[in-house]
Amino acid sequence: MKPWIELYWTQFKTTLASMLAYRAMLLIWMIGQVLEPLVYLIVWSVVSNVNGGSVGDYSAGEFAAYYLLLMLVNQVTYTWVMYEFEYRIREGLLSFSLLRPVHPIHSDIADNISSKLITTPIMIAAAGGLAVIFHPVLTPEPWAVALFFPALALAFALRFMLEWTLALSAFWTTRVGAANQTYFIVMLFLSGQFAPLSLLPVPVQVVADILPFRWLVSFPLELITGRLEVNQALVGLGAQAGWLVASYFLFRLVWRAGLKVYSAVGA
């Protein structure tokens, strides 16, 4: 375990130094992380007030709780490897990673975790400040709070593994921007970021249940906002674990196939 601890600790220090060096970029990114759910919150709050104080089974206060928590859930689960992997392959930077004695994925895991440890307290403070303005209504059961944290950890692991696997498509094409945007647009609707899934048409909800998107963001939110029974929560945790195992084996398959066709274009 000691070599792994040293590896992740070194990566943490590297990430911290990088963030301190690019403070303006970090600030802009964090503003974007706050603004997107804030826009949705304002829109749905206005719609709720126009409709007599609620939309579907969500009141204005429950919308506030949902989207303020969305800021935090998205912060914890969000990854950026899909935007970077294409550049690594196109410029030949992946070759240097392949020469190291550990798999390149470990560097990205450490980088993601360390950056979240640094930025999440700031996001919590931002959500707390907005809570004073929007007055969220949140009364979760103790068991839901207890299950929320493993659900959030599984959501991060699943989202990271899925998006790292999708990023490997850059082995076969040097331009994956369109594919990335398609993925994020689909995820925007099917993960509950644009609107709570219970407000969407039933066919959309069914698709979200079948595909992994609900389990990346919406499920932890449904859990902490008290919209699930115990049996539903346990089924959700099982779905997350099942998708995580499936995505891991898919990752290994695609990684091996990708290495066979890899050529360091920029090297």
CB contact set of 55 (below 8 Å; sequence gap of 6+): 44, 47, 48, 63, 199
Amino acid 267: pLDDT: 47
pLDDT in tens, the chain (267 residues): 677 777 777 777 777 777 666 666 667 777 878 888 888 889 888 888 888 878 888 988 999 999 999 999 999 999 888 888 888 888 878 888 888 888 888 888 888 888 888 888 888 999 999 999 999 999 889 999 999 999 999 999 999 999 999 999 888 887 787 888 899 899 999 999 999 999 999 999 999 999 999 999 999 999 999 999 999 999 999 999 999 999 999 999 999 999 888 876 554
Helix (H, G, I), strand (E, B) or coil at 117: helix
CA 75 to chain centre: 7
Amino acid 114: pLDDT: 81
Single-letter code of the amino acid located at 137: V
Tell me whether residue 109 is exposed, middle or buried, using C-beta atoms within 10 angstroms of its C-beta: 0 to 12, 13 to 18, 19 or more.
buried
Q: Which tokens in the block code for residue 208? A: 């979200």
Distance, in Å, from the CA atom of 134 to the CA atom of 45, rounded to the nearest integer, reads: 9
Write down the pTM of the prediction: 0.89
